[in-house]
Amino acid sequence: MLTYIAKRVIYTLPIMLGVAIVCFLLVHIAPGDPLVSVLPPDASEQLRQQMMALYGFDRPYAEQFLKWLGRALGGDLGTSIRTNRPVVAEVGKAVSNTLMLAALATVIGFVLGSLFGFVAGSFRDTWIDKVASAISVTGVSVPHYWLGMVLVIIFSAQLGWLPPTGAGPGGSDNWVWDWAHIRHMILPAVTMSVIPMGIIARTVRALVAEILSQEFIAGLKAKGMSAFGIFRHVVKNAAPTALAVMGIQLGYLLGGSILIETVFSWPGTGLLLNDAIFQRDLPLLQGTILVLACFFVVLNLIVDVVQTAIDPRIARS
């Protein structure tokens, strides 16, 4: 087991390097002036060149990348052009907010998706299967930003049950674990959970249907095993794949929440990326993308280890 974990960690190192290269290049080849948010419209060319030299944008890409990577390895992701604050401070707070939201959305999606998937797989080709499958397909197909706006109209504008935007009362972005703040998390979390719910439901449905059709299930029934005992065997065989899908969905939610966080004005990485893109804040954009990409790689590593702990056959293969 330890040997397998060590190999997986070693495999992630070139992936992390590739992620850093892609993050750096994608941001730099995008059109636009990186100093547009700090220079006045009538700035002279001399002032512009001075600012380019100050931020190091006048150096060759290879030199810029090596300096940026060296600082990033030391925990320094640079300074935001827009706010003049360290990128680490900006990203750290946003990542914690997004992580809370994505974790809650993943839990909701996993619980409901597993429930719908198990019911559909257990009653395959019946009306129950069709209803559960229709719900999962609808969850995958509905645009989540549109669903978010619909939920705001219904539960905030019309019913007045839940707040529409922000992470706390009065638009505060300082999170506190109380009901006043948790209420702000419900609508964005439910909106984010719809797509992973549909994907997990379809995956679990296919797994359960396949497992129940195998010969060892018929053998267990012939031995007189109870329905709960058979359920445990089905869950044990379906868990590794379901966990892998859940881990991937959590990674997607961390990096793909920009539209939902913009709709709900949730102060996470999605909203931070949106501001950095429109204001051409290169250090903030690079730092945010790098942190999210590293989260995704580390998350996949954790999922691989958990899968192996549940099913040792993965390590042997």
SS3 86: strand
Residue ranges of alpha helices (H) inside the chain are 2-29, 45-55, 61-73, 87-122, 127-141, 144-151, 179-212, 215-222, 227-255, 258-264, 269-278, 282-310, 313-316
What burial letters (b/e) apply to 228-237, b meaning 16+ CB within 10 Å? eeeeebbbeb
Query: pLDDT-derived band of residue 142, with 50, 70 and 90 as boundaries?
Result: confident
Is the distance from CB of 91 to CB of 291 less than 8 angstroms? yes
Is the distance from CB of 294 to CB of 16 less than 8 angstroms? yes
Query: pLDDT-derived band of residue 175, with 50, 70 and 90 as boundaries?
Result: low
Mean pLDDT of the chain: 76
pLDDT at 245 over 70: yes
Q: Across residues 148-166, what is the average pLDDT?
A: 83
pLDDT at 78 over 80: no
pLDDT at 108 over 80: yes
Q: Would you state the pLDDT for residue 7?
A: 74
Q: Would you state the pLDDT for residue 107?
A: 86
Domains of the chain: 95-267 (1.10.3720.10)
Name which residue leads in pLDDT, 34 or 268: 268
- Report percent pLDDT > 90 for the chain: 0
Distance CA 214, CA 120 (A): 17
Query: pLDDT-derived band of residue 185, with 50, 70 and 90 as boundaries?
Result: confident
Q: Would you state the pLDDT for residue 313?
A: 58
Dihedral sign of CA atoms 237, 243, 249, 255 in order: negative
Q: Across residues 145-166, what is the average pLDDT?
A: 83
DSSP per-residue string spanning 200-226? HHHHHHHHHHHHHTSHHHHHHHHTT--
Take residue 317 and report the two structure tokens written for it: 């293969």
Distance CA 188, CA 260 (A): 7
Q: Would you state the pLDDT for residue 138?
A: 79
Query: pLDDT-derived band of residue 112, with 50, 70 and 90 as boundaries?
Result: confident
Query: pLDDT-derived band of residue 147, with 50, 70 and 90 as boundaries?
Result: confident
